[in-house]
């Protein structure tokens, strides 16, 4: 994702972008991902410390999965062999230069607008400037980063469709008021349906309102 305006010199009209292609883009398209939907980006991180004037891995702390940014879709550009009219400012993006297979670029909305829930003043895309425990997906004492600690409502009870790529019930376990998930390794494009999980909408808004304002 290209989410930070200051990372490069920008043409007038620039907005944050996320490009996807191949099987991952097919997965998004097949599930109807489009305008209004929200991407939450996560990655593998490990804490460092200063030792003798240089950074080193902090002893005793394991790598973990952490949410680091977001993008709410304003528009989806299905790409062919030319840059769509009006989007010349985006021609620098690698996905505009691809010539094979399905490819798309997701353009951020200008401001975050999630159904009837107010998220005033939050941009449609951005990065979290600093770590917070609320952004951590990996369980605190987990031996592997793909052991996630999630809110209880994440559990796919009843007829609710699980997070995509996680249909195997053995991946899920209820632990009191929390849900433990063994996340698919090297996974991406995990999709959760906000109509089936309305709690996710409030959770995402609370997360963004709190963490974006800490930035």
Instruction: Check if the beta carbon of residue 193 is closer than 8 Å to that of residue 164.
Output: no
Is 147 in a helix, a strand, or coil?
strand
Residue 211 has pLDDT above 90, yes or no: no
Distance CA 165, CA 78 (A): 24
Give the pLDDT band (50/70/90) at residue 78. Answer: confident
Q: Is the model's pLDDT at 116 over the cut of 60?
A: no
Side-chain half-sphere of 202: how many Cα atoms within 13 Å? Answer: 6
58-97: b (≥16 Cβ within 10 Å) or e: eeeeeebbbbbbbbbbbebbebeeebeeebeebeebebbe
What is the maximum span of the chain, computed from C-alpha positions, in angstroms?
56
Residue 187 has pLDDT above 80, yes or no: no
Mean pLDDT lowest among 55-64, 93-102, 137-146: 93-102
Instruction: Work out the mean pLDDT of the chain and round it to a whole number.
Output: 90
Q: Which residues of 110-121 are buried (b: 16+ CB within 10 A; e: fewer)?
A: eebbbeeeebee
Q: How far is CA 156 from the centre of its chain?
A: 20
Instruction: Give the model confidence (pLDDT) of 135-163 as tens digits.
Output: 999 999 999 999 999 999 999 998 999 99
The residue extents of the domains of the chain are 5-214
What is the pLDDT at residue 42? Answer: 96
pLDDT at 32 over 70: yes
Non-local (6+) Cβ contacts of 209 within 8 A are: 119, 122
Close Cβ partners of 187 (under 8 Å, ≥ 6 residues apart): 165
Residue with tokens 């980063």: 145
pLDDT at 19 (0 to 100): 93
Prediction pTM value: 0.92
In the chain, where do the E strands start and end? 17-21, 38-45, 48-51, 54-57, 64-78, 103-108, 125-127, 147-151, 172-175, 178-182
Pairing relation of β-strands 17-21 and 125-127?
unpaired
């Amino acid at each position: 994702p290209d989410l930070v305006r200051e990372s490069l010199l920008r043409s007038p009209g620039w907005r944050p972008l996320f490009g996807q292609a191949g099987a991952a883009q097919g997965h998004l398209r097949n599930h109807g991902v489009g305008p209004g939907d929200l991407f939450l980006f996560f990655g593998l991180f490990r804490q460092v410390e200063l030792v003798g004037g240089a950074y080193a891995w902090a002893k005793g702390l394991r790598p973990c999965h952490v949410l680091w940014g977001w993008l709410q879709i304003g528009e989806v550009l299905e790409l062919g062999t030319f840059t769509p009219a009006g989007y010349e400012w985006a021609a620098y993006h690698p996905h505009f230069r691809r010539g094979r297979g399905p490819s798309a670029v997701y353009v951020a909305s200008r401001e975050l607008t999630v159904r009837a829930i107010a998220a005033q003043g939050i941009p449609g895309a951005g990065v979290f400037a600093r770590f917070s425990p609320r952004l951590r997906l990996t369980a605190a004492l987990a031996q592997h980063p793909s052991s996630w600690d999630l809110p209880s409502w994440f559990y796919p009870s009843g007829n609710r469709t699980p997070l995509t790529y996680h249909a195997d019930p053995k991946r899920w376990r209820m632990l009191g008021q929390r849900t433990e998930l063994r996340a698919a390794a090297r996974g991406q494009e995990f999709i959760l349906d906000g109509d089936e999980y309305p709690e996710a909408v409030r959770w995402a808004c609370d997360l963004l309102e709190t963490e974006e304002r800490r930035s």
